[in-house]
Structure 1
Amino acid sequence: MLSIPELIKKKRDGQTLNDDDIRAFINAVTSATIQDSQTGAMLMAIWQKGMVATETQSLTREMMLSGDVMSWPKEWAGIVVDKHSTGGVGDKVSLVLAPALAACGYKVPMISGRGLAHTGGTLDKLESIPGFNVYLTATQVMETLSSVGCCIVGQTESLVPADRILYALRDATSTVDSLPLITGSIISKKGAESLNALVLDVKFGHAALYKDLASAKELAHSLMTAGNGLGICTGAVLTRMDVPIGRRVGNSLEVMESLEALKGRGPPDLMELVTTQGGMLMMMSGKVSSQSEGSKLISEAVTGGAALSKFQAMMKAQGVANEVAQSLCAAHADYHRILRKAEHQMELKTQTEGTVRDINGMVLAEVLHKLGAGRTKAGEPINHSVGAELLVSLGQNVKKGVPWLCVHYERPALSSDQINQLQNALTVGAPRNDTHSHTLVAELLLPQ
């Protein structure tokens, strides 16, 4: 067997690592028999030389097998599903989709992450609900899936430990944006969930990791190849990420919007993503014959109230007091009685009249991040109350001087520079001729 320095040299020189090579590397990472400097060197070699599909597949499988792999009762065959988003601004799809799928008879063991840099994290959003526990044991996950049908939890110590170690070092060695390393990280965790079907929401645009459709499609194909290689029926939805999703950005504000969506009052762009991804999962798992038929069933689960009931049951199963869960799910809830409200709100006004052509989600997210809504390093605390509400939407005609954004903040106050940045995020001008800006889904990629 090759030594660690020989493995690094092999990859550095552009050779293809075989299954045994990759297994030896991941075993050394998991058992801590490799120095951090060596792991960093291997990550950089992978970043520079890339990996062929067989290497990426092997890396993904070995990472998945580095810890526990979940197993489910035989009667759940064909109905264990999940989704993954590559991260966006205002992306609260999981909070609506997981209970909607549960209402349609699926089991959704959703393992989610925390926000880092400009993207929000599903776990952070849920933790803005008092008492919500994102750390369930394997037994608690099984019990919650049996009784409710869905849970949204964090990665446990015993699940894909290799990923936790590698991810921290990727951040430290500037190798986060490597296609094989991204693929291994995402798909190994989904593989450990022992899923039957997985849909990937791969985003592109100025508020996404990938700025254009072509590079997002390359990532989607890599993820799909790895997922299908593990025996998970894997498809992808390519979606635009320029303007924030929905009208609210920030942890507790996004929980409120998700609850409104579950009460049948969701913004059209959010519901487009929920029904498209849900419809794809229903089709890929063989429950319906077309994506549109599945989308209709997901939509009915939301508008009919079944998804809201599942969300309420999930909150209770994950530690939220019964009275709190009931209050949040009431038809006309006073959300701020339960969810923290920021001390200050500031409305920004339009500086010209015309049609809203663009709202730069990246700028919005970066300012909110500095105000305390996000974190720069894993483990940093965040302020759940910080966020923003959009008071206008794309295509809307506005007069000069009307409020277009409400910023929720505490300390520090917004600087004049931040106010200017936010004002520059809004583009008002002549109406656009293209219609695509109002639909987020650009393309569906189905498993072959």
Structure 2
Amino acid sequence: MWPIDCIEHKRDGKVLTKEEITRFIDDYTAGRIADYQAAAWLMAIYFQGMTYEETKELTLAMAHSGDMVDLSSIPGIKVDKHSTGGIADTTTLIVAPLVAAAGVPVAKMSGRGLGFTGGTADKLESIPGFHVVLPEETFLEQVRRIGLSLITQSGEIAPADKLLYALRDATATVESIPLIASSIMSKKIASGADAIVLDVKYGDGAFMKTKERARELAKTMVGIGNLAGRPTRAVVTSMEAPLGTAIGNCLEVDEAVEALSGKGGRRLMEVVEAIGAQMLLVGGKVRDEGEGRALIRDLVASGKGLAKFREFVKAQGGSTSWIGKRPLTKAPQVFTAVCTDEGYITRIDGRALGEIAMAMGAGRARKEDKIDPMVGIRLFKELYDPVRPGEALFTLYGKEGADMMALAQQVADHIIVTPDQADTIEPVVSEVIV
């Protein structure tokens, strides 16, 4: 008896057919299956798992549960990039204009942030006049004209995912790899890209806590994308420390401009090169990763990436008068802390710094919370850097009335300096999965 037989099949470890999965998602989205039945099905998947083929069919059913964006009017191979999220991750703001400057179209839809800091759309919205909401035809025309547009998701993209995610959150089934993978990939496929590059992060500041789990998730998503006819690659990266040096919305836009001007931090630019090279590969612009990395570096050195960023900001109504001239960030209170010890930075607790920045107003605890784009933390040192007493360690940008001394002490408590270098140095890019 439907849908009980579908629940029983998965409970008993059977491989579900395409027809079963598609019907279950269609019926649940239409309200013909009760939440308690969907919850039982999710728990069966949590314990029994899914094959790549099952996960692909689940992903496609979820993708087709709402609007499907059609990018076919845009010439070339359209490439999308997705990060599983992390602290000081400004990669999209840097890599998208670089890839577009190389001639690979980037038509990206991003959600708003919930948690430590804002999402990519929130960061861009901190630029005066920038519009993250555009009509679909305007979005497509801009990509045809300049090769790049980034907007918030419009219409009903993968509504089945929204329903199932809320249920997963309430039934302790969030951590299932097939369910995580299908949730991410359904939105990517519905957004219309021809090829997809994923940045799958692990560590204290990431959703996946271990490299092994991140690798498993990456392999699953790559398998789904390839089976679905969307060439997909994943870069597995460390989030044991903040990726960049800026935590906060305007601060991260400022860091993106610095990076595109050739002044990017070591960890951030390593990921930019790795992700950018893979986007150029699947976009058909280079033959191998080495050539892709070299082209990314050339686009930074020549200023073409920064020029594309300026063109992109102007096209979406944003002010460009500040780019290359002055920082965007202006906060009511600014406080710089200096080092008191000599040695090496052996730990920066990115998650803790992200939570401090969120409490300062840089992120949302709830969807309805309002972000203050000017507040945040700017680090002057990265993980494994040497430090000496008196050197600037970080600057806080706070709201009027914020207790800057107390905040500075909180941040300092999560930056660990030891006399000796770390025994092992964790590479920021672990591997590329194709």
Structure 2 partner of 1:328: 322
Residue among 228, 252, 255 paired with 2:253 = 255
**Counterparts of 1:226 and 1:82 in 2: how far apart (Å)?**
15
Structure 2 partner of 1:115: 113
Q: Is the 8 A contact 1:395 1:431 kept in 2?
A: no
Moved more, 35-44 or 63-72: 35-44
1:227-246 pair list within 5 angstroms: 227-246=225-244
In 2 relative to 1, CA 156–5 (structure 1 residues): closer, same or farther, beyond 3 Å?
A: farther
Shift of 1:416: 7.9
Moved more, 407-416 or 189-198: 407-416
Q: Is the 8 A contact 1:371 1:411 kept in 2?
A: no
Q: TM-score, normalised by structure 2?
A: 0.92
1:116-195 pair list within 5 angstroms: 116-118=114-116, 120-195=118-193
Structure 2 partner of 1:27: 26
**Counterparts of 2:311 and 2:252 in 1: how far apart (Å)?**
19
- Residue type of the partner of 2:429? V
Q: Is the 8 A contact 2:122 2:249 kept in 1?
A: yes
Shift of 1:104: 0.6
SS of 2:189 mapped into structure 1: helix
SS of 2:393 mapped into structure 1: strand
In 2 relative to 1, CA 11–418 (structure 1 residues): closer, same or farther, beyond 3 Å?
A: farther
1:31-430 pair list within 5 angstroms: 31-73=30-72, 76-77=75-76, 79-118=77-116, 120-320=118-318, 324-325=319-320, 327-329=321-323, 331-336=324-329, 341-400=330-389, 402-410=391-399, 413-414=402-403, 419-430=408-419
SS of 2:201 mapped into structure 1: strand
SS of 1:26 mapped into structure 2: helix
Moved more, 165-174 or 83-92: 165-174
**Counterparts of 1:174 and 1:128 in 2: how far apart (Å)?**
35
In 2 relative to 1, CA 419–268 (structure 1 residues): closer, same or farther, beyond 3 Å?
A: closer
Shift of 1:47: 2.8
**Counterparts of 2:28 and 2:213 in 1: how far apart (Å)?**
30
Q: Is the 8 A contact 1:371 1:412 kept in 2?
A: no
In 2 relative to 1, CA 75–116 (structure 1 residues): closer, same or farther, beyond 3 Å?
A: closer
- Residue type of the partner of 2:116? H
In 2 relative to 1, CA 366–58 (structure 1 residues): closer, same or farther, beyond 3 Å?
A: same
Show structure 1 runs of 5+ residues with no match: none
Shift of 1:224: 0.4
Shift of 1:426: 1.0
Moved more, 347-356 or 234-243: 347-356
- Residue type of the partner of 2:326? A
Q: Is the 8 A contact 2:335 2:397 kept in 1?
A: yes
Shift of 1:401: 5.3
Structure 2 partner of 1:3: 2
**Counterparts of 1:132 and 1:74 in 2: how far apart (Å)?**
25
Q: Is the 8 A contact 1:224 1:235 kept in 2?
A: yes
CA displacement, residues 216-245 of structure 1 (integer Å, 9 cap, x when unaligned) = 110110110111111111111111112212
Residue among 404, 418, 430 paired with 1:442 = 430
SS of 1:335 mapped into structure 2: coil
Moved more, 4-13 or 263-272: 4-13
Shift of 1:122: 1.0
In 2 relative to 1, CA 218–412 (structure 1 residues): closer, same or farther, beyond 3 Å?
A: farther
In 2 relative to 1, CA 161–311 (structure 1 residues): closer, same or farther, beyond 3 Å?
A: same
Moved more, 419-428 or 198-207: 419-428
Moved more, 112-121 or 17-26: 112-121
- Residue type of the partner of 2:355? E
Pairs aligned (count): 434
Shift of 1:192: 1.9
SS of 1:198 mapped into structure 2: strand
- Residue type of the partner of 2:60? R
CA displacement, residues 68-87 of structure 1 (integer Å, 9 cap, x when unaligned) = 3233347724x211111111
Show structure 2 runs of 5+ residues with no match: none
- Residue type of the partner of 2:64? L
In 2 relative to 1, CA 351–34 (structure 1 residues): closer, same or farther, beyond 3 Å?
A: farther
